[in-house]
Amino acid sequence: MSPRKRTATAALPPPVSPERHAALRGPLLSWYDRNKRDLPWRRTRDPYAIWLSEVMLQQTQVSTVIPYWERFLARFPTVKALASAPLDDVLSGWKGLGYYTRARNLHRAAQEVVERFGGKFPPTAEELITLPGFGRYTAGAVASIAFGEPAPIVDGNVARVLSRLFEVEGLPGDRDREATLWALATELAKGERPGDFNQALMEHGATTCRPESPLCLLCPVRDGCFAYRKGRVHELPPAKVRAAPRKLFLALAVWPHAGTLLFARRADKGLFGGLWELPAVEVDEETPEAEAVQRLSSTLGATLALEGTLDSVRRQLTHRDLTLRLLRVSGGPRPTKSAAFQELRWCTPQEAEALGMSTAMQRALDAVLGHGVLGGDAPAAPAPAKKKAAGRTTRKATGG
DNA sequence: CAGTCGTGGGA
DNA sequence: TTCCCAAGACT
């Protein structure tokens, strides 16, 4: 018995008896062998390709990841190729996937694998977790799936599955709850094919032990599930409490010149870090356009005149309600650097395609080009944005 | 520990 | 239309 004292309210890690270990592990593994989805990263044993899938899958759905994973791998086939690529190319390959820090960490980690490990991934979770962007989950996933180390993983799926199987109480983020889940996952990872078993836990959570409407009648470990026995499946785990999204208004300078527009690279930290945008300043909902133009002028070190406005673009992020106001301006002198941005660049639409850019900014750019701001007829269909209108119409484009 | 960081899809 | 999320990491 451990001498460590616990408070009365602390969750005690449920024991995993040898019987229970076997009763869960075997059925889950054979269920996985029969029911696993044919995902492209399950057809490779290349640690680099597996790592890439794990990073892309962070907070992102499988169906979204598949085309990105294939394209990215074709563009950067090896960790060395990724390490030696310019950051702009990497961010461009990540364009539209979100959580862009992942891409910058991916790039840095690739460089460290080359420099510190001679281009070969270290095979243990303990070493992997020292690399940028590797947390406990990703280190365990790569170690177990690519190298067969019996390392545990706990992601959202595993947390849900184990919460139900072992009736683990507590809200997501609760210290004792997390410790309990990792302790359970550590015990269960021990045995044959730890990588497949870890994936079995996730696959089961993703397809059967789902958050809503779990398919308990198809569950291979239903008999051993405490939550099922007690009729508590629907209440475990408790849903996260999420803060309401805050409003964020940005005024963008749409500044055409000789077939180009002015683009700026945002700071590495914060929203859309390191990505390119039409130069933006944060404003309030009430900020008059004239004042927004004034602030863009001083930010860019130029004297700008408002020529007209285009439709605003709205985007819902998890924690932000984003409104992009497009202000078409003219003026001078034309800057090539600014203290407010990492970098400024005058780009044709074609050149801008190669820049890392958020989906919000891509929508704004599509709207700008759709209005023929650069002259001529609306240029070659601005990336037929899946039929949906690029932005809601709040007012007609004006000025000339 | 709580806040931050995106997106497309489904209810 | 609106809301909710999904294979986390970092500060």
Asked whether the predicted pLDDT for residue A395 surpasses 50, the reply is: no
Closest of A58, A252, A75 to residue A157, by C-alpha: A58
Other Cβ atoms less than 10 A from the Cβ of A137: the count is 18
Which residue has the least CA–C1' distance to nucleotide B4?
A270
DSSP-derived pairing of the beta strands A260-265 and A276-277: antiparallel
Contact between the CB of A247 and strand B at under 7 Å: no
The pLDDT, as a whole number, for residue A4 is: 35
User: Nearest nt to A388, CA vs C1'?
Assistant: B8
Judge whether A54 counts as a catalytic residue. Answer: yes
Structure-token pair, residue A151? 């390392």
Give every CB contact of residue A130 below 8 A, 6+ residues apart in sequence.
Answer: none
Asked whether the predicted pLDDT for residue A177 surpasses 50, the reply is: yes
Other Cβ atoms less than 10 A from the Cβ of A376: the count is 7
Which residue has the least CA–C1' distance to nucleotide B11?
A212
* Distance, Å, A267 CA → B4 C1': 15
User: Nearest nt to A159, CA vs C1'?
Assistant: C7
Which residue has the least CA–C1' distance to nucleotide B5?
A99
Alpha carbons A181 and A217: distance in angstroms, whole number: 24
* Distance, Å, A224 CA → B2 C1': 35
* Distance, Å, A377 CA → B3 C1': 45
Tell me the one-letter amino acid at A282: E
Domains and CATH numbers, chain A: 18-229 (1.10.340.30), 246-396 (3.90.79.10)
The pLDDT, as a whole number, for residue A383 is: 42
Tell me the one-letter amino acid at A398: T
Catalytic residue among A54, A149, A187, A307: A54
Closest of A15, A50, A232 to residue A128, by C-alpha: A50
Contact between the CB of A239 and strand B at under 7 Å: no
The pLDDT, as a whole number, for residue A239 is: 84
Q: Per-residue confidence at A13, pLDDT binned at 50, 70, 90? A: low
Q: How many CA atoms lie within 13 Å of A73's alpha carbon, on the beta-carbon side?
A: 19
Kindly report the bases of strand C lying within 7 A of a protein C-beta atom.
Answer: 3-10
* Distance, Å, A58 CA → C6 C1': 8
Q: Per-residue confidence at A399, pLDDT binned at 50, 70, 90? A: very low
Which residue has the least CA–C1' distance to nucleotide C2?
A316
* Distance, Å, A3 CA → B5 C1': 41
Average pLDDT (A100-118) is 97
Asked whether the predicted pLDDT for residue A9 surpasses 90, the reply is: no
Structure-token pair, residue A161? 């599955």
Asked whether the predicted pLDDT for residue A381 surpasses 90, the reply is: no
Q: The pTM is what?
A: 0.91
Asked whether the predicted pLDDT for residue A28 surpasses 70, the reply is: yes
Instruction: Calculate ∠ Cα A84-A103-A266, nearest 5°.
Output: 100
Alpha carbons A110 and A77: distance in angstroms, whole number: 12
Which residue has the least CA–C1' distance to nucleotide B2?
A173
Tell me the one-letter amino acid at A340: A
Length of chain A, please? 400
Helix A136-147 vs helix A47-56: angle between axes, to the nearest 10 degrees? 150
Kindly report the bases of strand B lying within 7 A of a protein C-beta atom.
Answer: 1-9, 11
Structure-token pair, residue A323? 């409104």
HEC-encoded secondary structure of A304-335:
EEEEEEEEEEEEECCCEEEEEEEEEEEEECCC
Give every CB contact of residue A65 below 8 A, 6+ residues apart in sequence.
Answer: A53, A56, A57, A97
Alpha carbons A206 and A10: distance in angstroms, whole number: 29
* Distance, Å, A160 CA → B3 C1': 23
User: Nearest nt to A138, CA vs C1'?
Assistant: C8
